[in-house]
Amino acid sequence: MWPFKSKSASGAAFAEDAPSPVYVSERTCILDEDDGTLSVIIAFIFLVVVFIICHLIYRGTQRENAIERKRRAWQLGKGLLNPHREVGLLGLIEKIFVDPFVPASLENFVLFIFFLWFVFTITMGITRYYRKIWAVEMMGQHGIFNYISFLFFGCKGKDLTTVIYTHPIPEHSPFISDPQSTQKRDVDVDSFIMFHITAAMAWLFLGFIQIYLAKDGWSSNPVEQNKVHRVFGCFAILGLIAHVFFATRIAYHDPMNQIQLIQINYLGMCVEVTVLCYYGIMYAVAARNEQDKGKKHYLKRMHRYRMVTCWIQGIFGSGAIRVTFWFLWMVGHFFSPVWRARIDRGACQSASRPERGQQLGSAESCWVPVALNLSLTNLLTTWLIWILFHLSEFTESDRASFIARLKQSILAVVFTIAAVPILYYWSGLELPIKIVLWPLSLISRMQCLWDLYVTFENRVLVRATRLTRFYHGRPFGNPEEQNEHAD
């Protein structure tokens, strides 16, 4: 079957519950197919324009200054790749996809992430409040493009409801004893998602506040600033604990019937975030007990890097996964319904039907688009951490671990994309492909566990002097570094 849709091809079947409104104009659309195609084209044009503008700004009058700042940052322990020498393919990737998007400060970076991730996620809660159902909505990502398509070109917007997980839930849910009841299942899913999304939004907000105000946002007095930062950090950690607990709970109980490969990927994220948080806390404790100014400064910077990475990793379900979901949703629009279900998890999960023994929004037969979504999400998160390398100090072991993760992320995306057509034409290869995807999905998780073992083995956080050998080969108390970053 030809993968691209014909003029008669309709979208993937959606659940019978009331879909979100589609904007219709009395004017004639400029395209032959008035099915939301124009809004998707406008969205892609917008992304390309943003990409070009960032490159033009970077390559304009500030380019030489930007390169000099990059070299200067390397001398101070920032930046993933050495700008003084050729670095091959990774250097080319960094030049095209990373350098033009590095913001002026870490505070601007986390503010940008927080704003977008909040807008992309809150629409799910709004849908639950007004429509009494749990569904994945694209209003935050795609709503503006639907409006542009409708107001300026008279074209219908694309349906913004992609996956519906439950039927309308009563305001006061009665006790249901039958475990096979559809209403019982909806009430259970309501509980799982409600606690999960609430805890995730709490960590998104608390983590953002803690990072954004970490430098001097609480007080101009350094002593008072450190005290408030430490106290508020306890609340942020409680938010993280709640987020990890409810994320582990929903991944373990698996109300959407994911395969074990996907479950382990979600659970691995919880383990990785826990390890990063442990690292961050230990660096903070070591910095508080350290008397040497140079070592204290270094330990505080390592604490910041670990906790920002923990925040980015922990909120991947609040924004990063929704960005890649949106991208695949738009790409799938140009394919036939059969191929679309192998690219867009929303189209696949929305095709679940009770007569097949599947629950609403079930993902039991959608592991390929879900794996593709998660692979791209991991790559997007890796890209964000790559930008973080230009804004925060790190150790040589961090650098080696990240480069390994970067290569694994790229390989996983390439392999998963290749698996889509392979499984369509040769479905018998499903088991071998799953066997290959298992280690690809777990390499980065195993890397963080190995780092944790090395930490315990060498006691590098207890014996702070051992950290010297990780810091680009430079000793603590570098006068240039201290003057540059004096608190």
Instruction: Work out the pLDDT band at 232, boundaries 50, 70, 90.
Output: very high
- Would you call 463 helix, strand, or coil by DSSP? coil
Rounded Cα–Cα distance for residues 342 and 392 (Å): 39
Which percentage of the chain shows pLDDT scores above 90? 23
Are residues 374 and 410 in contact, defined by beta-carbon separation less than 8 angstroms?
no
How is residue 316 annotated by DSSP?
I
The tens digit of pLDDT for each residue in 38-85 reads 999 999 999 999 999 988 887 765 555 656 666 666 656 666 676 655
94 in Cβ contact with 153 (< 8 Å): no
More reliable by pLDDT, 446 or 399: 399
Per the CB < 8 A criterion, the answer to whether 360 and 166 are in contact is yes
Rounded mean pLDDT, 245-273: 85
What pLDDT shows up at residue 467? Answer: 40
Q: Identify which of 76, 77, 111, 83 has the alpha carbon closest to the alpha carbon of residue 99.
A: 83
The CA distance from 297 to 303, in Å, is: 10
pLDDT for the residue numbered 121:
92
Cβ neighbours of residue 103 under 8 Å, at least 6 residues apart? 109, 112, 387, 391
Q: Using CA atoms, how far apart are residues 243 and 235, in angstroms rounded to an integer?
A: 12
pLDDT over 50 at 9, yes or no = no
Q: Give the range among 44-53, 387-396, 431-440 with minimum mean pLDDT.
A: 431-440
DSSP state of 100: G
Neighbour count for residue 484 (Cβ, 10 Å)? 13
* Mean pLDDT value across residues 263-272: 83
For every residue of 191-241, DSSP letters joined together read: HHHHHHHHHHHHHHHHHHHHHHTTTTTS-SSHHHHHHHHHHHHHHHHHHHH
Region 228-243: mean pLDDT is 92
Please answer whether residues 356 and 155 qualify as being in contact, where contact means their C-beta atoms are separated by less than 8 angstroms: no
Is residue 218 within 8 A of residue 233, CB to CB? The reply is no
- At residue 447, the pLDDT reads 57
Comparison of pLDDT for 163 and 241, the residue scoring more: 241
Given this model, what pLDDT does residue 28 score? Answer: 76
- The closest alpha carbon to 316, from 360, 269, 281, belongs to 269
pLDDT band at 458 (very low <50, low <70, confident <90, very high): very low
Q: Assess whether pLDDT exceeds 80 at residue 416.
A: yes
**pLDDT tens, 141-176?**
999 999 999 988 888 889 898 888 888 887 765 555
pTM for the model stands at: 0.82
Q: Which of 280-289, 361-370, 457-466 has the lowest mean pLDDT?
A: 457-466
